[in-house]
Amino acid sequence: MASNQPLVPVLLLKTKSTPGDSYEDIFSSTKLAGHPGFQPIFVPVLQHQFLGDGMRQVRDLLGSRKIGNAPDCAYGGLIFTSQRAVEAFATLVQDDKGKGEQGWPHLEDVPVYSVGPATTRALKSVSQSPPLQIFGEHTGNGEALALFIQEHYTSWYSGRATLPPLLFLVGEQRRDIIPKTLMNPSLPANRRIEVTETVIYGTGVMESFPRDFADVLRESEGIERWVVVFSPTGCDSMLRGLGLLTNADAQQETPTTTKHEAAPKTYIATIGPTTRDHLKNNFGYEPDVCAEKPSPEGVLAGITGFDGRSR
């Protein structure tokens, strides 16, 4: 590909993170020999809303110091697997400071588990004093995090006859791999960890997404482009925007054409296997790339490593 060709658009179907977004940073700065470079474009798919009941429950637990390492605490640690859950938690921290409080120092002595680098970065930015003790950044997915928690949490509370429960802050839509793994009845009692899931935010497709996505597609017509999908939510709208679905009312929608026939220069990458399998199982669509690691570096590696001959 000649260097005088326009930048390759990378349509990131997510809300741009603030104050900086690592996907924008890595795609904007990547320079490859014989390649014009990438132009990251954010197209938000999801809208999130904090849920009052869940937020009140967590606020009450924090305010009454029921999350800590004292024997009478209700929970001995926290689990986060999404940036939205971290945002909700950070809101509670900020609200507490707005009332003149000094944060929750009792959290200093409990492990806070994070599924990967993006969630960990968000947790590290929470203005909590003393800082949170965060573990699990290297895991990358729920299954790996659950196995890590089993070993780490058991060691953390090794002097206890029974392990204190963990509080898992979640959205309305989530996988249950972590609770199932940690509460598996076949585990010995001294390794079984009770997990309470508290729903603190809801998620839905933004009403403006189909229109916003269509606008971006029109602006990039005739140019090789990538679409990066981060969640099963909105996959139908994405495929429909690309002209790849038949009947919007069908329970099992199928592609209208063979892959890329409708948009011969559009390629699709997914953040990981959950979204890839959703596309395959529900729409019969095989994405071009599935990132081996759910990170900006993983997505970039998948795209740059894509075999041009398969196009």
Q: Which two tokens stand for residue 38?
A: 């990438």
What pLDDT digit, counting tens, does each position of 105-114 carry? 678 889 999 9
pLDDT for residue 192 is more than 70: yes
What pLDDT digit, counting tens, does each position of 71-122 carry? 999 999 999 998 889 999 988 888 765 454 556 667 888 999 999 888 898 8
What pLDDT digit, counting tens, does each position of 138-177 carry? 998 899 999 999 999 999 999 888 899 999 999 987 878 9
Mean pLDDT of the chain: 85
What pLDDT digit, counting tens, does each position of 255-303 carry? 444 444 444 489 999 998 989 999 999 999 999 999 998 889 999 999 9
Residue 251 has what pLDDT?
A: 43
Q: From the centroid of its chain, how far is CA 189?
A: 31
- Of 168, 75, 76, 82, nearest to 120 by C-alpha is 82
- The structural domains of the chain, ordered by start, are 8-45+206-239+269-304 (3.40.50.10090), 49-201 (3.40.50.10090)
Is the model more confident about 133 or about 127?
A: 133
pLDDT for residue 248 is more than 60: no
Q: Which two tokens stand for residue 13?
A: 């179907």
| 63 touches 99 (CB < 8 A) | no
Cα–Cα distance, 214 to 211 (Å, whole number): 5
In DSSP notation, 235-300 reads HHHHHHHTT--S-TT-SS---SSSTTSSSTTEEEEESSHHHHHHHHHHH----SEE-SSSSHHHHH
